[in-house]
Structure 1
Amino acid sequence: MARTPVSGIQHTLRSGAYDASIASVGATLRTLRHDGRDLVVPFDADELRPNYRGTTLAPWPNRVVDGRYAFGGTDHQLSLTEPGRGHALHGLSPWLDFHVTDAGADHVTLSATIEPQAGYPWRVEVTTTFTLSSEGLTQTVTARNDSAEPAPWGTGPHPYLVAGPSALDTWTLRLPAGQVLLVTESRLIPTGLSRVDEADAARFDYREPRRLGSVEIDHAYTGLDRDEAGSVTVTLTDASGTGVAMTWDTACPWVQIHTADLPGGDITPGHRAGLAVEPMTCAPDAYNARTYDYDAGLVVLEPGADSSASWRIHAL
C-alpha cells in the first residue's frame, strides 16, 4: 500500500493550458500552472507545507489577537499558533484532512468538519470546490453551522502569487484599494484604518500600477474599487510580459497583502518568492470586532445557516 504524501492525498486538475494540484491537508492549492508557468509558489507533495502556503483559512483568516475574544456573552481563549507574536493564526482548518465528496478531470470538492473544541465550541462543516476552466482556477468555500448556537465565521485563501521569472522587487502591482489597516510593528495588532495616500503612499498606494521595489508589506486593505459586477481584481506583472491576477466577489471586503519577508532574509527558502494575496471575508482580529471603530466584517452563522465566498486566480 502506497504511503500518503506529507501534504495529504493529491488531486490533479487539468483544463486547456491550466493544471493544478490540490492537497487534501488544509484543502491546499499546492501548484497552479499555465502553459507550464507557475502562477503560485509551489511546494512538493511530500513536503511539510511552508508558511500556510496555498491553504484554506477557516473559521477565521489572519489573526485573533492574543487568541482571546468574547462572543455571545462568553469569553474564549484559542491556542496560540503564532507563538512569536502571541496570536491565534489562520484558523483551525489548515491541518484538517479534507475528504473528497465529488471529483472530475477539472474539479474537486473537499469537505471537513471543524469540531467543537476549546476556544471554538461550535461544529462547522467546511466545503470547498476547486474548478479549472479557460478562465483560471476558481475556489469556492462554504460553511454550514451544525451547532445549536450562532457561530463566528471568516475565511480566505493563502496563495503566494508569481508574476514571472524576475525577482519580486521588479514586479508591478495594481491593487485597487483605498484604505489600509495600520498595525503595530512587532505584533501586527490593528491600530486603525487610514487612506493609502495618507498613511505612507510610497509603501501602501498601488491604485495605479507600479513596481514593488524593496517595500515590505504585511497589511490588510479595504475600500476596494469594484467593477459593475461587484468584483475586485489585483494584478501582478513581470518585466518579461507575463503576469497573474486574482479576482474575487463581494463576500470578501478585505484583502491581506504580504511580500513574504521571512526571518533570515535571502538565506531563508521562500523569502520574497511570491506575493501573498489573501481575499478575506473579514478583517484581522475580526472576532474582536466590537473593539474597533470600523466594520471588521465578522460573519455570524446562525444554526443551520451557511455562508459562501469565492475567488479566482488566472494568468495574464
Structure 2
Amino acid sequence: MSPSGTQVELRHGAYSAVVTEVGATLRELRHDDRPLVVGFDADEIRPHYRGAVLAPWPNRVTDGVYTFGGRERRLALTEPDRGNALHGLVGWVRWDVLAESESAVELRHALVPTPAYPHPLDLRVRYALDDDGLHWTVAATNTGAGPAPYGTGPHPYLVAGAGRVDDWSLELPAARYLAVTPDRLLPLDVEDVESAGFDFRTPRQLGDILIDHAFTGLAADGEGVARVRVRAADGGGVVCSWNAAECPWVQIHTADRPGESGHRIGLAVEPMTCPPDAFNSGTDLVVLEPAQTHQTTWTIAAL
C-alpha cells in the first residue's frame, strides 16, 4: 500500500487531481498536464505538510501550550526544533472516503478527544473539480458537550510554471503582516507590509526574498473574494481565491529549505481562519458550540 493510503483520482475537462487517504491530502493538481501545485509520488511519504488539511488549528501554537475554558492544555511539539505545535492534529491520520465521483470526493475523520484537545469533531473535506478549477472545502462539526476552539486552512505549494519561486511574480492583496521572531517564528506585532518589503499589492517578481509570514488586511472584490496570483515569466500561472471574511489571514512561505530538493520549488499559499497562535491570542479564533458546524472553501485555478 502507498504510504499515503488510498489514491483517489479526479478529472474534469482540462483539470485533474489526486487526493490521498492520509491527511486528506491534495497530492496532485494539474491543468492540461501542467502542475499547479508541488506534488509528490504515490510511493513517497508526504514531504512536510505538502497539500495537507490543517485542523483544528493552522500554523503554530507557541510551546504547544494554550488555555481554553479556564484549563491549561499541552499539545505535542510537532515542530520540535522550534518548540511549537504545528498545523493541527489530522495531517498524518487516515480519513474515510464517504463518496466519490469522476470529479469530486468527500472524506471524513472523527477526531477523538484527548487531554491536549478534549473536543470531539466530525471533520469533512470535499474536493470538487469544475470549469473554474479545484474547490477545496473543509467543514467541522462539534460533536461534544462543550465549546471547542477551532481554526483551519490548507497547505498547497503553488507552481506558476517553469523555474522556481525566484523567477515568479506575486500578487498578494494584503496591507498588513504578522512580524515574527527569526528563530522560532513566534508572533510579535501586526505591521504594515511596506515596513518589511512585503508589499505585493501590485504584482512584482519575488526574486530572492524570504517570506514565512501571515498576512491580513486583505482587499477583496465586490463579492468578498480575495485572490493571490502567482505568475511565471511567460504570463501563465495559478490563482488561489477564497472568502476574505471567512479567512482573513493567509500564510505565504517561499519554501526556503537549503540543501533539500524542495528548496523554493513552490510558493505556499495558505488561507487561514485565524493567525498563528490564535489558541492563545484569541484573534479570529472560531469557537464551535455543541452541534455547530463551521465550513469554508478555497479554490485553486490555472491562469
Fold shared by both chains (TM-score > 0.5): yes
Matched AA of 1:129:
R
Residue in 1 that maps onto 2:206:
212
1:183-222 equivalences under 5 Å are 183-197=180-194, 199-201=195-197, 204-222=198-216
How many angstroms apart in 2 are the aligned matches of 1:167 and 1:308?
33
1:293 alignment counterpart: none
Q: Kindly provide the CA deviation profile for residues 248-303 of structure 1, in whole angstroms up to 9, marking residues without a partner as x.
A: 113111000000001xx1x311010100000001110000025xxxxx21000001
Match 2:247 to one of 246, 252, 261:
252
- For 1:101 and 1:23, the matched residues in 2 are separated by 13
**CA distance in structure 2 between the partners assigned to 1:168 and 1:282 by the alignment:** 25
- CA separation in 2, counterparts of 1:88 and 1:98? 21
Find the residue that maps to 1:233 and give its secondary structure.
Answer: strand
Alignment map for 1:277-292 (pairs within 5 Å): 277-290=269-282
Tell me the amino acid that sits aligned with residue 211 of structure 2.
I
Cross-structure match for 1:132 = 129
Q: What is the aligned counterpart of 1:235 among 205, 219, 229?
A: 229
Give the Å deviation of 1:241. Answer: 2.2
Select 1:50's aligned residue among 41, 47, 52: 47
Partner SS, residue 63 of structure 2: helix
Aligned residue in 1 for 2:219: 225
* Equivalent residue, structure 1, for 2:150: 153
- The gaps in structure 2 that reach 5 residues or longer are none
- Which amino acid is the alignment partner of residue 228 of structure 2? V
TM-score (norm 2): 0.99
Amino acid corresponding to residue 256 of structure 1 in structure 2: Q
Taking the aligned partners of 2:161 and 2:72, their CA distance within structure 1 comes to 46
Provide the rounded CA distance (Å) in 1 between the counterparts of 2:281 and 2:141. Answer: 21
* 1:312 has 2:282 as partner: no
Give the superposition deviation at 1:91. 0.2
Residue 276 (structure 1) aligned to one of 245, 251, 268: 268
Residue 31 of structure 1 is matched in structure 2 by: 28
Give the gaps of 5 or more residues in structure 1. Answer: 291-295
Alignment partner of 1:62 is 2:56? no
Residues 63-142 of structure 1 aligned to structure 2 (within 5 Å): 63-142=60-139
| Alignment partners' CA distance in 1, 2:138 and 2:127 | 9
Aligned position for 1:15? 12
Instruction: Give the superposition deviation at 1:65.
Output: 0.2
Deviation by residue 1:9-64 (Cα, 9 ceiling, x = unmatched): 10000000000000110010000000010000010111100010000000000000
Provide the C-alpha distance between the structure 1 equivalents of 2:137 and 2:86, rounded to a whole number of angstroms. Answer: 21
Distance 2:222 2:212 in 1: 29
Paired residue type of 1:230: G
CA distance in structure 1 between the partners assigned to 2:83 and 2:8 by the alignment: 35
Structure 1 residue 213: Cα displacement? 0.3
What root-mean-square deviation, in Å, do the aligned CA atoms of Structure 1 and Structure 2 show? 0.7
| Cα displacement string for residues 224-248 of structure 1 (whole angstroms, at most 9, x for unaligned residues) | 0001111100000000221000001
Q: TM-score, normalised by structure 1?
A: 0.94
Write the mapping of 1:170-185 to structure 2, written as runs, cut at 5 A.
Answer: 170-185=167-182
Aligned position for 2:290? 303
Deviation at 1:168, TM superposition (A): 1.3
